[in-house]
């Protein structure tokens, strides 16, 4: 399963969104939205989130110092989780707290990031990822070299 691409959308007057069709096919019916990093939200399918729990979260030992820090980080993340219900047109209400932390007012950007979908306020996304000329783009990709890209 791989989510890819960038999709611009808008919240409607009732703060509802629809997952773009090209991403929705991979995501499935049930999904969770949590506060992500760098000002965006992460969207995972129910299966992906369950797999993360099984593979990673259950391994955290809450009795070691490192485990206590990881448990606190996990608490912070899971406390922001929203499991939205879609209406018969595939729309869902974006949780007010998540809208606030991601600074989402109206325009949004969905970005497929292979194993998750990121949801950004369009203004935040455009400021962070401005259009780059060829030289700037090449330089921006240099950090990926450390990871074999």
pLDDT digits (tens, 9 = 90+) for 112-131: 999 999 999 999 999 999 88
Q: How many helices (H) and strands (E) does the chain have?
A: 6, 7
pLDDT at res. 59: 81
pLDDT value, residue 26: 86
As a whole number of Å, the end-to-end CA separation of the chain is 19
In Å, how far from its chain's centre is CA 23?
12
CA distance 2 to 26: 7
The mean pLDDT value of the chain amounts to 91
Question: Residue 90 above 90 pLDDT?
Answer: yes
Structural domain boundaries, residue 96: 3-147
**Structural domains counted in the chain:** 1
What is the domain-level CATH number for residue 104?
3.40.1550.20
pTM recorded for the entire structure = 0.90
Mapped onto helix, strand or coil, the DSSP state of residue 109 is: strand
Q: Which residue has the tokens 């606190």?
A: 72
pLDDT at 3: 94
Of 15-24, 85-94, 138-147, give the lowest mean pLDDT range.
138-147
The whole-number pLDDT of residue 1 equals 60
Q: How many CA atoms lie within 13 A of 126 on its CB side?
A: 10
């Amino acid at each position: 399963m791989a989510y890819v691409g960038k999709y611009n959308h808008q919240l409607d007057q009732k703060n509802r969104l629809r997952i773009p069709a090209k991403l929705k096919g991979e995501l499935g019916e049930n999904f969770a939205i949590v506060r992500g990093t760098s000002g965006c939200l992460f969207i995972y399918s129910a299966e992906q989130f369950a797999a993360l729990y099984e593979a990673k979260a259950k391994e955290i030992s809450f009795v070691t110092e490192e485990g206590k820090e990881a448990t606190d980080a996990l608490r912070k993340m899971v406390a922001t989780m929203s499991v939205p219900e879609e209406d018969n047109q595939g729309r869902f209400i974006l949780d007010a707290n998540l809208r606030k932390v991601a600074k989402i007012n109206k325009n949004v950007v969905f970005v497929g990031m292979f194993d998750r979908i990121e949801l950004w306020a369009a203004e935040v996304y455009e400021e962070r990822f401005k259009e780059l000329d060829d030289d700037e783009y090449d330089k921006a990709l240099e950090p990926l070299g450390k990871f074999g890209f």
